[in-house]
Amino acid sequence: SQQGEEDPQALSIQEGENATMNCSYKTSINNLQWYRQNSGRGLVHLILIRSNEREKHSGRLRVTLDTSKKSSSLLITASRAADTASYFCATVTYSGAGSYQLTFGKGTKLSVIP
Amino acid sequence: DGGITQSPKYLFRKEGQNVTLSCEQNLNHDAMYWYRQDPGQGLRLIYYSQIVNDFQKGDIAEGYSVSREKKESFPLTVTSAQKNPTAFYLCASTSDRLNEQFFGPGTRLTVL
């Protein structure tokens, strides 16, 4: 089941520009996480934002969460060629019987042109 | 890739054969997960285990089997019953189901 949907599917920008990716989801969440995946590699966790938080920063990353709109955005400022990767949002939702499930979206493919 | 290793990196299999993918972690995590990723797609959960000797089916468990005999190891067997096994397989672990997952480097399986 697909909980998060990223937008756009692909994004191409010049080095130094900012990159914004959006994620929408359908059901109530405990938290939302963003991951990065370089081509052919495993995922790397970037940032986690809890449902009672609205904004979080980590270095050049800024994440916002709007639970009323069921959406989140990831902003990468002053992008670098090394930021070229796919970015995934993932939502943690309660799945019953004390269990939680992490569900990934399809990702945004970011290309940063030197 | 943290403290999770997957082997092999590339795997080729003939149709009708079972194949086992290895996943080992030294992070002392209780929970481990197997995901499948197809080109241009997100991750889909195959199986997960929250504790040794216990595991549950994910969204696409058909044609797959797992075991969890040791905390450090969570091997995935792709059986001949899996109709379209060619994909990128990712293993992950976490100390807390509410927090981040740590991923291995992945195994790319190709059925010839």
Helix/strand/coil (H, E, C) string of B27-49? CCCCEEEEEEECCCCCEEEEEEE
Q: How far apart are the first and last CA of chain A?
A: 37
Chain A closest-CA separation from residue B51 CA (Å) = 13
- pLDDT tens, B10-43? 999 998 899 999 999 999 999 999 999 998 888 9
* Distance, C-alpha B34 to centroid of its chain: 3
Q: What is the mean pLDDT of residues A89-107?
A: 88
Chain B closest-CA separation from residue A107 CA (Å) = 6
- Give the pLDDT score at B1: 46
CB-based burial, A32-70: b 16+ in 10 Å, e otherwise? bbbbbbeeebbbebbbbbeeeeeeeeeeebbbbbeeeeb
Interface contact A42-B99, CB threshold 8 A: no
Report chain B residues touching chain A, CB-CB < 8 A.
1, 4, 6, 35, 40-45, 50, 59, 88, 90, 92, 97-106, 108
Distance CA A85, CA A112 (A): 9
- Give the pLDDT score at B112: 86
Neighbours of B80 (CB within 10 A): 15
- Give the pLDDT score at A4: 74
B99 secondary structure, DSSP code:
S
Residue B101 has pLDDT above 80, yes or no: yes
**Counting one residue from A and one from B, how many pairs have CB atoms under 8 Å apart?**
55
Distance CA B59, CA A10 (A): 26
Chain B closest-CA separation from residue A42 CA (Å) = 4
- pLDDT tens, A30-74? 999 999 999 999 999 999 999 999 999 999 999 999 999 999 999
- Give the pLDDT score at A94: 86
Nearest chain B residue to A100 by CA: give it: B97
As a whole number, the mean pLDDT across chain A is 93
Residue B89 has pLDDT above 80, yes or no: yes
By CB atoms closer than 10 A (0-12, 13-18, 19+), residue A28 is exposed
Position B11, amino acid: L
Q: What is the mean pLDDT of residues B82-87?
A: 92
- Give the pLDDT score at A96: 79
DSSP assignment of B48-98 equals EEEETTEEEE-TT-TTEEE--SBTTB--EEE-TT-S---EEEEEEEESSTT
Residue A100 has pLDDT above 90, yes or no: no
Residue A2 has pLDDT above 60, yes or no: no
